[in-house]
């Protein structure tokens, strides 16, 4: 049997439905609860004064005799000062204790504040940031990540193609390109059988809008500045022709991360993912499910739960396959993840609809704080 709601719960339910309430119109029990919730910093209270004015008998007599209105000025202008009229006019008294309308100073959007917080935490943990352009070649977005060239994700229903120019140069050494080609065709030296098809250099040059942040990880693994051990992250905008619903947009932000070190295991990856969900999104519980991606094995999907909000899926992760790391010249294990940071913010801010993150509702933007 569900217990009866207390006064604090009833008051919060009332305010959730009506947004505002007048203390005098509440019953005595709820009026006492106002102070309790105020002490817990769950309420904003605005004090308003209502005055009723009427003439006294002396005032009525004065009115009958006739009165001459003396205008009061609220602003001292340059003209009044230069002409000397300021000596003859009456300036309105300024009451510094008078209540004023609430003002809203400029501030960063709550979501931008959250992104900066995530970036600062990752940098504090020793991660270096990866950056790149939104337009990418299919080589780095797919081929270097061992995604076959006939994969459904590479069709027009799964990615955005650039109309002009259609092709770009592959910024990778010829040896690396040859390694990736052989890995796709026959497995090269990875112990794999490959995808058993004729690799197309023309398809590898195709320009697209990046579909995930993992393309930056592939570029980083090829960088001459790569260090081992090391850890990298990126927070980037990605593009896919998704069907828009409460958790999907055609443009979305993704937090991507990789850690390179010897002796890394799946347990290390799960620890990182759990920390993300609890510290960044405020989750109470996390759940890991087996998943499939062409470039990781094993692969794991992360979902998290927050009381009063429910479960939400954040994204995928795994350990890069030898078919990814070996052709790029990497011998050590690499754990990787790509999470929808929009969804992390949704859980953190208790937002049910992803499109509301980018709302132009000024009242919500002014009042919303990332907690």
Mean pLDDT of 91-106: 81
Q: Give the rounded distance of the alpha carbon of 318 from its chain centre.
A: 22
Residue 359: pLDDT band by 50, 70, 90 thresholds? Answer: confident
Q: What CA–CA distance (Å, rounded) separates 281 from 181?
A: 40
Domain boundaries, the chain: 110-134+212-367
Could you give the percent of the chain with pLDDT greater than 90?
A: 52
Q: What CA–CA distance (Å, rounded) separates 344 from 262?
A: 30
pLDDT at 85 over 90: no
Residue 2: pLDDT band by 50, 70, 90 thresholds? Answer: low
Q: Is 298 left (phi over 0), alpha (psi -120 to 50) or beta?
A: beta
The pLDDT score that the predictor gives to residue 371 is 54
Structure confidence by residue, pLDDT tens digits, 334-352: 999 999 999 989 888 888 8
Which CATH number applies to 110-134+212-367? Answer: 3.30.930.10
pTM of the model: 0.72
The pLDDT score that the predictor gives to residue 351 is 86
Residue 369: pLDDT band by 50, 70, 90 thresholds? Answer: low
Q: Give the rounded distance of the alpha carbon of 164 from its chain centre.
A: 31
Q: What CA–CA distance (Å, rounded) separates 266 from 12?
A: 43
The pLDDT score that the predictor gives to residue 66 is 76
Is 295:321 a contact under the CB 8 Å cutoff? yes
Could you give the percent of the chain with pLDDT greater than 70?
A: 98
Structure confidence by residue, pLDDT tens digits, 216-273: 999 999 998 898 899 999 999 999 999 888 888 899 999 999 999 998 999 999 999 9
């Amino acid at each position: 049997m569900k217990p009866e709601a207390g006064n604090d719960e009833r008051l919060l339910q009332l305010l959730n439905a009506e947004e505002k309430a007048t203390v005098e119109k509440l019953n005595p029990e709820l009026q006492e609860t106002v102070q309790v919730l105020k002490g817990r910093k769950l309420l904003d209270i605005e004090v308003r004064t209502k005055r009723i004015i009427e003439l006294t008998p002396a005032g009525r007599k004065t009115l009958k005799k006739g009165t001459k209105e003396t205008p009061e000025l609220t602003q001292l202008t340059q003209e009044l000062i230069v002409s000397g009229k300021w000596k003859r006019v009456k300036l309105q008294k300024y009451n510094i204790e008078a209540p004023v309308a609430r003002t809203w100073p400029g501030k960063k959007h709550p979501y931008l504040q959250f992104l900066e917080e995530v970036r600062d935490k990752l940098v504090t943990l020793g991660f270096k940031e990866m950056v790149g352009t939104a337009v990418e070649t299919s080589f780095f977005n797919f081929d270097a990540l061992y995604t076959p060239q006939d994969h459904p994700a590479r069709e027009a229903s799964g990615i955005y193609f650039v109309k002009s120019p259609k092709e770009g140069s592959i910024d990778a050494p010829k040896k690396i390109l040859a390694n990736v080609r052989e890995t796709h065709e026959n497995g090269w030296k990875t112990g794999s059988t490959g995808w058993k098809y004729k690799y197309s250099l023309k398809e590898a040059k195709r320009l697209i809008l990046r579909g995930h942040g993992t393309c930056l990880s592939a570029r980083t693994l090829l960088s001459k500045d790569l260090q081992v051990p090391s850890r990298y992250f990126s927070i980037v905008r990605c593009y896919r022709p998704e069907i828009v619903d409460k958790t999907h947009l055609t443009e979305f932000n993704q937090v991507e991360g990789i850690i390179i070190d010897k002796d890394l295991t799946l347990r290390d990856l799960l620890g990182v993912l759990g920390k993300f969900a609890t510290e960044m999104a405020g989750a109470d519980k996390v759940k890991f499910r087996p998943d499939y991606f062409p470039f990781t094995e094993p692969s794991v999907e992360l979902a998290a739960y927050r009381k009063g909000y429910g479960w939400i899926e954040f994204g995928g992760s795994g350990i890069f396959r030898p078919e990814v790391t070996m052709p790029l010249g990497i011998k050590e294990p690499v754990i990787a993840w790509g999470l929808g940071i929009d969804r992390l913010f949704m859980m953190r801010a208790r937002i049910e609809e992803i499109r509301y993150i980018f709302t132009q509702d000024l009242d919500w933007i002014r009042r919303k704080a990332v907690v």
